[in-house]
Amino acid sequence: MASIHASLDTPEERLVFWSIVGTWGLWFAGALYHAFPLLGWTLVALALGRRIGVFDEHGHSASPLPWGVVAWLIGMGGMLAALTIAHLTFDLEAVQFVKSLFGWIKGWGLLGAFIFAGADLRIKPIVVFRASNILALQTLILTPVLAAAALAGGPDVWFVSPLQYLGGTGPAFFEVGSHTWDGGSLGFRLRYYAPWGPAAAFCAHIGLVCGLFDRDRRWRLVGVVTALVVCAMSQSRLSLIAVPVLLLGLPLLSNLLRAWPAAIAAALFTLGMLLLTQVQDAIDDATQAFIGARADSSRVRAALSRIAVHRWQEEAPLFGHGAVERGPHLVEFMPIGSHHTWNGLLFVKGAVGFVALALPLAWTFFELLAKAQRDAVARAGLGMVLVLVFNSFGENLEILAYLAWPGLLIIGIASRRRLRTPEVWKQQFGPAFAVHPEAA
């Protein structure tokens, strides 16, 4: 920790480092939901101030923004445009529009803000990796304490921070407690500093990527072990898919120009074709086990998705309804447009909102996939994109953007890395494919 602390060269690095390391302290004050969005927009203000010369005498000499980052800014701006048009179309009250605007500032707008800040500010990726692993060590130490509180039958919520009165989507974001009760194998789920268990697993997926790319072996081990422990204690079903893909799939995706990934893929494909019937049966059994692990939750989520898609198609296909709505008894009155990023986007912001997220996400995936073949930071960024993709099918990225921000910063940092093409491309296609020097 000392070496990283000594290398915090810029105000933005110090802000980022101590914000991550101080996560548990902010959680105990119930301040995470307000503090991290404030951090994001502060970083944006710092970047813009540098560019126009407010903080630097001669202005920021950074190169133009990468196209991938521009795509995110346009996409998140499209979210705001869809929101505004939907409110006008359905004659929603001005108070509702103001609430939705603040929701955008702390949600979709925040995704663009952190990615822009990562790309434009002077933040070394190791600062994020090491701070995340220090946070992981704190989390690992606190896990037995939280589990003991749950096993002792203590209250799941210790207190609710008065900061909830400054605005928020619900008291869960300001609750300080150890767990939520659950009918699963443990009888409870630890939610750590997240509003619910699966959201804690979302944070663990980000921590897993940070752990994998720390230069120090000891911190790398701490980050990976803690991520696995959090996924287990939060009893996240999505982690059964996300963790193996991050641990096994990410190295494969990052080495597509080498022979061994192709050999492994060919061997698996051949084996799969020979055992097609058995593979299909295994997939069916795994799917049923996945759904059956939380049958009631799966039923509610499926019903919410059907309602959201049907009402999007019938009532507001282009710009959506502008806001979530309380669902019927069939879905236990859960808000329509929650629990699933893509269906929620269709319901709230229509096809425009759907495309506004899908396009920058796809652009960034393929851009970082190309860069990841020869750049470790781009591999970390690619891992963070995979985390967003996986969790978009189980969580609402908008309301959890304030927790995903270290991953968003890494995506921004990775986006500014230059594509370093291998020598074989240079020989085959000429000087246009020359290897670029690695970006700072």
Q: Report how far apart, in Å, the C-alpha atoms of 291 and of each of 196, 261, 284, 334 are.
A: 19, 31, 11, 19
- Residue 19 pLDDT exceeds 90: yes
| pLDDT (tens digit per residue) in 116-170 | 999 999 899 999 999 999 999 999 999 999 999 888 888 889 899 898 888 777 8
pTM, two decimal places? 0.86
**DSSP secondary structure letters along 330-350:** GGTTPEET-S-HHHHHHHHHH
Q: How do the domains of the chain map onto residue ranges?
A: 8-57+66-254+362-433
Of the given ranges (5-9, 167-171, 335-339, 395-399), which has the lowest mean pLDDT?
A: 335-339
pLDDT tens-digit map of 235-281: 888 888 889 889 988 998 888 877 766 676 666 656 655 555 655 55
Tokens 């990976």: give the residue. 224
Convert 397-420 to b/e letters by CB count within 10 Å (16 or more is b): bbbbbbbbbbbbbbbbbbbbbeeb
Which pLDDT does position 341 carry in this prediction?
81
Contact partners, residue 406, CB within 8 Å, separation at least 6: 16, 20, 128, 131, 132, 206, 210
With tokens 């150890």, the residue in question is: 178
Asked if 174 and 165 count as a contact pair (C-beta separation under 8 A), the reply is no
The pLDDT tens digits for 349-393 are 888 889 999 999 999 999 999 999 999 999 999 999 999 999 998
